[in-house]
Amino acid sequence: MCEGAGLLLQLKQRLCRSIDEAEAKLHSLSQDIWSCPELAYQENKAHLRLVEFFSQEEGWKVDPHYKLQTAFRACCWVGDSEQKDVVSVGFLCEYDALPAIGHACGHNLIAEVGAAAALGLKAVLENTHKLPVRVQVMVLGTPAEEDGGGKIDLLNEGAFDGMDVVFMAHPLQDDAPYLPLVAEHDVTIKYHGKASHASAYPWEGINALDAAVLCYNNLSALRQQMKPDWRVHGIIKHGGVKPNIIPAYTELEYYLRTPSRAELSVLKEKAERCFRSAAVATGCEVEVEYAKNAFDNILRNRTLEDLYEINGKSLGMEFTTDEEVLNNASGSTDFGNVTFVVPGIHPYFYIGSKALNHTEEYTVASGDDKAQFFTLRTAKALAMTALDVLLHPELLQKVKQEFTEAKLKEEQNAKQPAKPS
């Protein structure tokens, strides 16, 4: 099937036309999500809008509250039901926003990309004769990427079981098939001391603010012995009530980041010494509370990245060659955890603006009509990449083999004993 490059090209062109034909309703979907930003696990209106979108599309079976209240699954099957070989392809939608500044990370566009790519792939497969496999096209609505890690919750509930390959794309300032995203874990440190009058009898108190300051300084001192690509950054969320009261309670929040999940455990051990030694020095009690979900680094799949880049270039994408951009490990995502279970890619796409993510300017850019061309172009490239692996079983096998080898390498690195500090 589809051995000729000419036929594959025709199918990809048909796929792109299908997405273009759906442009108006896809734009409307994105705008509705953008105009009503909602925080993690509270994306009720965005969730309902997406559920209604797929419920109104022919051939989709929709599970409206799939594993989580604001998650959903939309599935369709294409191909001969007698076909023994089945491939499940997943597209992910995000739709949570940021406090105060709304969709400053463009998750409305992520949702649109996932929906558009799924519609385009379904349309072309339904008009392709003699598919080599039976295909399940699946869209997962994944809440709470900005805070909490909804994809990790869904992984723990088995939502990704049986999926063969997974796709999503994230808006940025450039087109890139891959950027390094790091492992991350949030931690809250609480110190409990004893209140007393700060002037009349301070010796009766146990100063929790001193513990918080020591903790902060301990971590600052630790940076000299940290690897260059490790990150520890945080704030004092609660520092006391009034200057004439010895603070009985303080609270800090930190994010710990490393290039790999194996290194993250090493950094956490070092950081905990800083947390606990501050309590010992001041006589305070300490609570160390890690967030429910830790974010893993993304497990690369260069086979998928290369296919995506080829397809993107055919659509006019100009991928960044800026080494500072390509090598700068900065943010984190719960999609990293997904890539340890299912092979996938998380490319970035230009939206017509050089505004920086997590700014008010990017909120404006993610809702601008100008972003639509770039968003749909990205959806086309993702769907074309999915088509490549579906119509060429040897490519899918290569994707899976690379995934297995990369995961094994990560596991071996995790078993290596940490060097003494």
Domain, as residue range, for 255 = 183-290
pLDDT digits over 155-201, tens only? 999 999 999 999 999 999 999 999 999 999 999 999 999 999 999 99
Q: 257 with 164, same domain?
A: no
Domain assignment present for residue 421? The answer is: no
Strand 231-238 and strand 170-172: the pairing is unpaired
* Judgement on whether residues 114 and 25 belong to the same structural domain of the protein: yes
Q: Would you state the pLDDT for residue 313?
A: 98
Residue 420 is assigned to a structural domain of this protein: no
Q: Kindly state whether residues 164 and 233 are assigned to the same domain.
A: no
Kindly report which listed range (38-42, 99-103, 271-275, 330-334) carries the lowest average pLDDT score: 330-334
Res 417: pLDDT = 55
Q: Contact 111/94 with Cβ under 8 angstroms?
A: yes
Residues in CB range of 307: below 8 A, 6 or more apart: 385, 388, 389, 395
**Residues 309-348 pLDDT 10s:** 999 999 999 999 999 889 887 789 999 999 999 999 999 9
**pLDDT digits over 355-399, tens only?**
999 999 999 999 999 999 999 999 999 999 999 999 999 999 999
Residue with tokens 């998380």: 346
Cβ(102)–Cβ(150) below 8 Å: no
* 160 and 126, same domain (yes or no): yes
Q: Indicate whether 119 pLDDT > 70.
A: yes
Task: Write the CB contacts of 10 (distance below 8 Å, at least 6 apart in sequence).
Answer: none
Query: Is 86 in a helix, a strand, or coil?
Result: strand
Residue 370 falls within a domain, yes or no? Answer: yes
- Could you tell me if 278 and 321 lie in one domain? no
Q: Report how far residue 182's alpha carbon sits from residue 336's, in angstroms, rounded to the nearest whole number.
A: 8
pLDDT in the model for residue 233:
95
Same domain flag for 26 and 160: yes
Q: Are residues 393 and 303 in the same domain?
A: yes
* CATH at 222: 3.30.70.360
Rounded to the nearest 10 degrees, how much is the dihedral formed by the CA atoms of 314, 317, 322, 325? -120
Same domain, 9 and 94: yes
Helix, strand, coil shares of the chain, percent, nearest 5, are 45, 20, 35
Per the structure block, which two tokens stand in for 264? 């993250």
The answer to whether 205 and 194 are in contact (CB under 8 A) is: yes
> How much is the pLDDT for 134?
95
**Residues 102 and 210 placed together within one structural domain of the fold:** no
Which tokens is 214 given?
């020591």
**5 to 18, 395, 396, 419: CA distances (angstroms):** 20, 15, 17, 51
CATH number at residue 366: 3.40.630.10
Average pLDDT for the chain: 95
The single residue listed with the structure tokens 């769907």 is: 383
Q: Is the pLDDT of residue 139 over 60?
A: yes
Q: What is the mean pLDDT of residues 2-18?
A: 87
pLDDT range class, residue 415, cuts 50, 70, 90: confident
With respect to residue 14, please indicate whether it lies within any of the assigned structural domains: yes
Whether 77 and 207 share a structural domain = no
Domain final residue pick, 290, 324, 340: 290
Query: Is the CB of residue 191 less than 8 Å from the CB of residue 211?
Result: yes
Query: Is residue 417 situated within a structural domain?
Result: no
The closest alpha carbon to 112, from 331, 309, 360, 349, belongs to 349
Q: Which of 290, 306, 340 is the last residue of a domain?
A: 290
Indicate if 2 and 120 belong to the same structural domain.
Answer: yes
Same domain, 102 and 32: yes
Q: How many distinct structural domains can be found in the chain?
A: 2
Task: Examine the fold and report which residue of 250, 273, 290 is the final residue of a domain before the chain moves on.
Answer: 290
Residue 2: the pLDDT is 45
| Percent of the chain with pLDDT strictly greater than 70 | 98
